[in-house]
Structure 1
Amino acid sequence: MHDERFPGLRRRGFLAATGAATLGALALTACGADGTDPGASGDDGTPKRGGRLRAAFAGGGASETLDPHLANLFADVARAKALYDKLADYGADLSARPRLAAKWEPNKTLDRWQVTLREATFHDGSPVTAKDVLYSYRRIADPEKAFRAKASLEPIDLDASRATGERGIEFVLKRPTAEFPNVLAAFGAYIVPENAGRNAADFDRKPIGSGPFRFVSFSPGRSAVFRRYDAYWEGAPHLDEVEFVVANEESARVNALLGGQVEYAHELNPTTARAHEGKGQIEIVRLRGSAMQAFCMKTDRPPFDDKRVREAFFLIADRQELVDGALSGAGVVGNDLFGKGYEYYAADLPQREQDLDRARALLKQAGAEKLKVTLDTSAVAAGFTEAASIFKDQAAKAGVTVEVRMGSKDSYWSDILDSGTLACYRSGAMPIEAHISQRLLTDSTTNATKWQHKDFDALYQQAQSTRDKAQRAAVYERMQRRLYTEGGFLIWGFADWILGTAKTVKGVETKAPANTLDWARFDKVWLT
């Protein structure tokens, strides 16, 4: 079951996965790849070359694959970005940054884009060419396949797009698309050699990419080992090798880190972070702004088809209490808009505060005094049940009765898209433009709030047809002001994503939300 709230990822990849940890089954040591102790190096802030870093992630069991177009779990994505490249990727502010694409340039009408590739080679020494890019995109777009980046590539007319040279591509689009670089950076849009994957097992036997590491071995559900690619276009990694090991339980990842069996543990909870932060044994890394936390109000049905009721609920929420209680303080308050700190975010809107008197007045105007609503939640995500309980108590102070309904972890994400009226919700990092296009247009495929307004759709099309970035930003701000006033997402917070590393690990980027370019950049870290 796919979770559309986390672009490019299945639910287990973002949430604490369950199942027996397989870390103990691996023969792990605390030495570098050459058998030396990586701690023997000095620690003067200068990158050191050598050693093997072992990174623990929640995994997907025996069904795991190294096919980058099937990357769904965080472990999948981390392995894919070690082996492969995309044409672009997202910076810390979720704007697109060039990767294999050295540059891109649109025509005046924004419906044709010329992309020039940088000089890069695959692990077998062959150059990355326009034919490889077009093959990769056509493979992803195959209607018979279920590749996650397929929807993101939808704006491209791949039949009309063509190579204009070995390193040049003309992308013909179905409509003006000012944010076309976001398409190039789409989750899962990795470039593979032409004809790769004709045999599905090829990716797991000897995958060939253009990323910073090349394949050594892979045991699905257990481990994968990759070695430094010296000819990498951005410079060879500092590490000799990186090993991805599977530990599904958070406690297993933490214990392996504390015991010296791994040097990097992905996805720790706030309680763990508080217990070890500043204690000297391990380092705690907080990736700010990685996950939006919200309540989703269905705007097409009572009582939330009345914008006065939606505004009342905005004013009922005590956001700091929700962050402190549901996230254990590991986050910041939201302002009912997606993408705090991201490109185009409407940061000038006043921070919304709890105002119970105004909330009660709005409910009275709407004829919704003594309102009773059901809030759907589930143990599917950390903090969901806590947030529901806290908001229930907050709503009672405004005279609203909230009945909390627990849903199944297995079907929650699919159920809340169509059923009920109010639900707990969260999302991983993605561009604000993508959040709008995927969730807030009349024909959006994951429109959980049922926000369907033709004039809003028209503003999105206007933004996509606007070449000047400042003018485009003004349109996005206008759209966000509308959502701030009467939208269906009560966005109360943004959660940290928490990692743990050994004291010997240096170079981990601390300002990159999960899903962005500098998250899990094992080619940039080193061991002291």
Structure 2
Amino acid sequence: MHPTTPFPGLRRRGFLAAASGATALAVTGCAGSSPAADGKGDAGTPRRGGRLRAAFAGGGASETLDPHLANLFADVARAKALYDKLADYDDDLSARPRLAEKWQADRTLRRWQVTLRRATFHDGTPVTARDVLASYRRIADPAKAFRAKASLEPIDLKASRATGERTVEFVLKRPTAEFPNVLAAFGAYIVPEGASDFDRAPVGSGPFRLVSFAPGRGAVFRRNDDYWDGAPYLDELELVVANEESARVNALLGGQLEYAHELNPATARAHEGKGRIEIVRLRGSAMQAFAMKTDRPPFDDRRVREAFFLIADRKELVDGALSGAGQIGNDLFGKGYEYYADGLPQREQDLDRARSLLKQAGADKLRVTLDTSDVAAGFTEAAGIFRDQAARAGVTVTVRTGSKDSYWSDILDSGTLCCYRSGAMPIESHLSQRLLTDSTTNATKWRHKDFDTLYQQAQSTRDKDARAAVYGRMQRRLHAEGGFLVWGFADWIIATARNVGGVERTAPANTLDWARFDKVWLT
């Protein structure tokens, strides 16, 4: 199957990053050259009809429509066209029901009853509890490398069961107050029981049906008039592969596209407000940080970590490494997300205090290596800027540039200080995947049993306000002495033709309303 595409053969990948640190992008915000008051594009009243052509960086001939193998932004856009999850993330990264109509926990928070809404797959068969359990068991197959496997770990799938055609009882291994986040997990799509032929004849319950698919080139989809959430406005959607940013932008300017994913700040500035295309900035999308390993010198000394917090000039880093396309951070993940501790004072550069702390720690002539790579935009620039900032505090930073192909695995356990970024996930997921003693992607080696206990306390707390208070305690501790020096949050930038309406301007990547083409229209 070969959809029409004017951009064959381009190569640069646009990886979604996630728990490993190579993360997908995200967070809240709004902007653009003429944003509408409701946060959507302003191309008039919604109307039906037409084909929208959208370009993403792709993965070449190995691309697949298997939603459980999605790893790139392009993969997720295709999966969202064809499939649904039980829940998905709202703009603040709270879980929002999708195929699940509702959920209810018992008093122990270890059994959750999930009721499905009435929805059908593209072949007309209903989405049932058996399909849900079969999908989750497929994802959890130990012989497979499906990305959502770790997210489903809290579920005891052997004990979980269908209690009716549209009801599932999930039995959990431990109390999990934030279980809806599991239902919304990246890649946790529902497919029909026994599904296998994903690339030639995929059957989902999503807003579009497949017309054609050519790995590395693109895919064409047609409106699903029977979609449970309302038929899309578009007649057809074409997702094409254009790995080079210049190809995406030139095709948009030339009328060959209506939507271009992933622009750099310089390109956005060159076209913003010029009247030819619309620039959409998803403010503060990717957390930008330096990760200090807290289990080894010099960062096993809390005073050294605090000194590094005070060395950073966050505005200079945002302006220099992100070309100003972002907002400053405060050494915490998830700015704007549910449970974020936004009441803490903004940390400012204080070189005198940093020098004093280093002297107290016997590290006033400290030398340290900062690992970086061109694996992510702004990494090498940030490393150079921070090196110069540290020099003003008497610290000698040597920048070491590693291979972008192995960077994330290299820096997980080795080194002492590295460039790091992360995209959208709930704050609870960030805590559990990166900051508990047994977390598999614990890049800062933050291991404290009392911190683990606080996390378990939060997960065992039914009352949301009380649970938020526990998350607040955990974040105050991280702000004071953690290993993530979070200096900024980068904008995520897309561009559209001026006749495109309905594009959400506040939805981080990895959330429900990002790349949600069933709610987009052409005028």
Q: Quick check: 2:18–2:24 contact (8 Å CA) kept in 1? A: no
Distance 1:5 1:450 in 2: 23
Does the alignment pair 1:472 with 2:467? Answer: yes
Q: Any conservation in 2 of the 1:13–1:75 contact (CA below 8 Å)?
A: no
> SS at the partner of 1:450?
coil
The residue type equivalent to 2:17 in the other structure is F
- SS of the counterpart of 2:453? helix
Structure 1 CA distance, aligned partners of 2:349 and 2:407?
Answer: 29
Aligned partner of 1:311: which letter? Answer: E
Match in the other structure for 2:206? 211
Structure 1: distance between partners of 2:509 and 2:491: 9
Q: How does 1:118-517 map to 2 (within 5 A)?
A: 118-197=117-196, 202-517=197-512
Q: Which residue of structure 1 lines up, in the alignment, with residue 88 of structure 2?
A: 89
Match of 2:9 in 1: none
Measure how far apart 1:289 and its partner are: 2.5
Please list the CA deviations of residues 166-212 of structure 1 after superposition, one character each: whole Å capped at 9, or x if unmatched: 00000000000000000000000000011101xxxx10001000000
Aligned partners of 2:85 and 2:184 also within 8 Å: yes
Q: Unmatched 5+ residue regions in structure 2?
A: 1-12, 27-41
Q: Is the 8 A contact 2:252 2:258 kept in 1?
A: yes
Task: Give the Cα separation in 2 of the matches to 1:4 and 1:281.
Answer: 28
| Alignment-mate amino acid for residue 239 of structure 1 | L
8 Å Cα contact 1:54-1:244 kept in structure 2: yes
Aligned-pair distance for 1:442?
0.4
Q: CA deviation at 1:3?
A: 11
Cα distance in 2 for partners of 1:249, 1:12 equals: 20
Distance 1:436 1:107 in 2: 24
Partner SS for 2:413: coil
Q: Structure 2 CA distance, aligned partners of 1:307 and 1:449?
A: 13
Give the Cα–Cα distance (whole angstroms) in 2 for the partners of residues 96 and 331 of structure 1.
25
- SS of 2:389's partner is helix
Any idea what SS the aligned residue of 1:424 has?
Answer: strand
In the superposition, relative to structure 1, how do residues 501 and 53 fare at CA in structure 2: closer, same or farther (>3 Å)?
Answer: same
The reply on whether 1:6 has 2:17 as its aligned counterpart is: yes
> SS of the residue aligned with 1:313?
helix
Quote how far apart the aligned CAs of 1:288 are: 1.5
Asked if the contact 2:265/2:493 (under 8 Å) is kept, the reply is yes
TM-score by length of 2: 0.93
Between the aligned partners of 2:15 and 2:261, the Cα distance in structure 1 is 21
**Runs of 4 or more off by more than 3 Å in structure 1?**
2-5, 8-15
Provide the rounded CA distance (Å) in 2 between the counterparts of 1:378 and 1:45.
43
Instruction: Tell me the number of residue pairs that the alignment of Structure 1 and Structure 2 aligns.
Output: 496
Taking structure 1 as the reference length, the TM-score comes to 0.92
Question: d(CA) in 2 for partners of 1:67 and 1:88?
Answer: 19
- For 1:109, give the aligned amino acid: T
> By how many angstroms is 1:5 displaced?
8.4
Q: Determine the C-alpha separation between the residues in 2 that align with 1:4 and 1:234.
A: 29
Q: Which has the higher contact order (CA 8 A, sep 6+)?
A: 2
Q: CA deviation at 1:227?
A: 0.4
- The 3 A distance-change label for structure 1 pair 12 and 417 is closer
8 Å Cα contact 2:43-2:501 kept in structure 1: no
Is the Cα contact below 8 Å between 1:140 and 1:150 reproduced in 2? yes
Closer, same or farther: CA 8–474 of 1 in aligned 2, 3 Å: closer
Q: CA shift at 1:290, angstroms?
A: 1.5
Structure 1 unmatched runs, 5+: 16-42
Q: Alpha-carbon deviation of 1:45? A: 2.3
| Whole-angstrom CA distance in 2 between matches of 1:330 and 1:109 | 45
Q: What amino acid is aligned across from residue 142 of structure 1 in structure 2?
A: D
The CA deviation string for residues 84-115 of structure 1, in whole angstroms up to 9 with x for no partner, is 00000000000000000000000001000000
Displacement after TM superposition at 1:251 (Å): 1.0
